[in-house]
Amino acid sequence: MRFQAIEMSVHNFNSGPSILPQPVLEQAAKAIHDFNGTGLSILEIGHRTSHFQSVLDSAIGSVKRLMQLDDQYEVLFLHGGATTQFMQVPMNLLDQGETAAYCDNGIWGNKAYKEAALFGNAVLASSSADRSHTYIPKDLNIPANTKYLHITTNNTVEGTQWHNYPNVEIPLIGDMSSDIFSREVDFKKFSLIYAGAQKNMGAAGVNMLVIKKDILGKIQRKIPTIMSYQKHIEAGSLMNTPPVFAVYVSMLTLQWIEQEGGLAEMGKRSQERADLLYNTIDSLPLFQAKVAKEDRSQMNTVFFIEDESLQNLFLDQCKQAGFVGVKGYRTVGGIRVSMYNALPMSSVKAMTDLMQDFAKQHG
């Protein structure tokens, strides 16, 4: 009942942690009281039990099916947010003196680049800082002997998204935190993918990683055990106590994605949501989206009202209408509407209706 009441009064446009599917919340709530009829809460089961092993196996199975991965790839569920991976990727793949290339297309990619510089020679393959990260440069400058190229597939803060991944001869690494499992893409273009779970995939506290095994074992550095991808693979994501509940919520969300029709269906829904919102912005001169059209994100739409007092009034009205999480990121400002997999079309419609009314009064 509580969930129904919340659903009726709130439209959740949070950028992450963010909206999760209703059946996932209901199942997770049940499992807190009694996990699969065991008489134990999901919070109380041991991680080295067959109960948890089946959760982990199911989650990994869903990831492999959704991404169509073969045995060259391993799937891990590890502690921490994507920020941990900014450090863990170069620690595992880059020796001092070696070069790694990064695309600086937003705040998160830039943070990843700065962390890599602690471990080796990090260079920028591209940067869109010249236009406040409102586009994605396609021409990349990758020096000879570069170990890997790192991209952020969706820039959550700035509202840009790669719609065609770069073709490179070296391993491609993707931070997919904010568009993982939102559409069909060629995941096999990547040698390593990581994503914090708390947007399209579950609850905060766990990272999902997909690693092509042939990129490992190529550096001299001694890696602390808990940071070593190889050791985590050998331990089957059970080197130490994993975030059991967060993995469970990921498993439920992955099952929901499969039951709803998989990535083709998620992609169709994302496109419909994005079309409605961007078409509304483009039809109303009061609102401006500054991102290059070809690079617009289907997950996070960032737009502005030039007159700041009007923009604040619009944000107030959003609040009164029960729209949650629409204030732009602190470094960007404006309005940000995040539309992850679980967001119903009715929420986007509620937003665009308010925009139409607001433009009639103030446009």
Ligand X SMILES: Cc1ncc(COP(=O)(O)O)c(C=O)c1O
Q: Which residues are catalytic?
A: 108, 175, 199
Number of residues that bind ligand X (CB under 6 A): 11
Is the CB of 98 or the CB of 295 nearer to ligand X? 295
Is the CB of 204 or the CB of 235 nearer to ligand X? 204
Interface residue with ligand X among 62, 69, 81, 248 (CB under 6 A) is 81
Interface residue with ligand X among 196, 325, 328, 334 (CB under 6 A) is 196
| Stretch in the footprint of ligand X (CB under 6 A) among 174-182, 212-220, 235-243, 285-293 | 174-182
Q: Which residues contact 26 (CB under 8 A, 6 or more apart)?
A: 3
- Torsions phi, psi for 299 (to 5 deg): -100, -45
Nearest approach, Cβ of 83 to ligand X (angstroms)?
3
Is the CB of 16 or the CB of 90 nearer to ligand X? 16
| Stretch in the footprint of ligand X (CB under 6 A) among 26-34, 76-84, 281-289, 336-344 | 76-84
* Structure tokens, 100: 């790694």
Write the secondary structure of the chain as one string of H (helix), E (strand) and C (coil).
CHHHHHHHHCEECCCCCCCCCHHHHHHHHHHHHCCCCCCCCCCCCCCCCHHHHHHHHHHHHHHHHHHCCCCCEEEEEEECCHHHHHHHHHHHHCCCCCEEEEEECCHHHHHHHHHHCCCCEEEEEEECHHHCCCCCCCCCCCCCCEEEEEEECEECCCCEECCCCCCCCCCEEEECCCCCCCCCCCHHHCCEEEEECCCCCCCCCEEEEEEEHHHCCCCCCCCCHHHCHHHHHHCCCCCCCCCHHHHHHHHHHHHHHHHHCHHHHHHHHHHHHHHHHHHHHHHCCCEECCCCHHHECCCEEEEEECCHHHHHHHHHHHHHCCEECCECCCCCCCEEEECCCCCCHHHHHHHHHHHHHHHHHHC
Nearest approach, Cβ of 344 to ligand X (angstroms)?
22
Nearest approach, Cβ of 129 to ligand X (angstroms)?
17
Interface residue with ligand X among 88, 126, 128, 178 (CB under 6 A) is 178
| Stretch in the footprint of ligand X (CB under 6 A) among 58-66, 173-181, 280-288, 342-350 | 173-181
Site string for ligand X, 214-243 (x = CB under 6 A): ------------------------------
Interface residue with ligand X among 110, 177, 191, 270 (CB under 6 A) is 177
Interface residue with ligand X among 12, 16, 24, 69 (CB under 6 A) is 16
Is the CB of 149 or the CB of 286 nearer to ligand X? 149
| Stretch in the footprint of ligand X (CB under 6 A) among 172-180, 212-220, 241-249, 331-339 | 172-180
Is the CB of 108 or the CB of 256 nearer to ligand X? 108
Interface residue with ligand X among 14, 22, 83, 121 (CB under 6 A) is 83
Residues 124-163 that bind ligand X (CB under 6 A): 152, 156
Nearest approach, Cβ of 16 to ligand X (angstroms)?
5
Q: Which residues contact 5 (CB under 8 A, 6 or more apart)?
A: none
325 sits near ligand X (criterion: CB under 6 A): no
* Structure tokens, 261: 């029709």
Is the CB of 25 or the CB of 112 nearer to ligand X? 112
The angle formed by the CA atoms of residues 349, 352 and 358, to the nearest 5 degrees, is 140
Q: Which residues bind ligand X (CB under 6 A)?
A: 16, 81-83, 108, 152, 156, 175, 177-178, 196
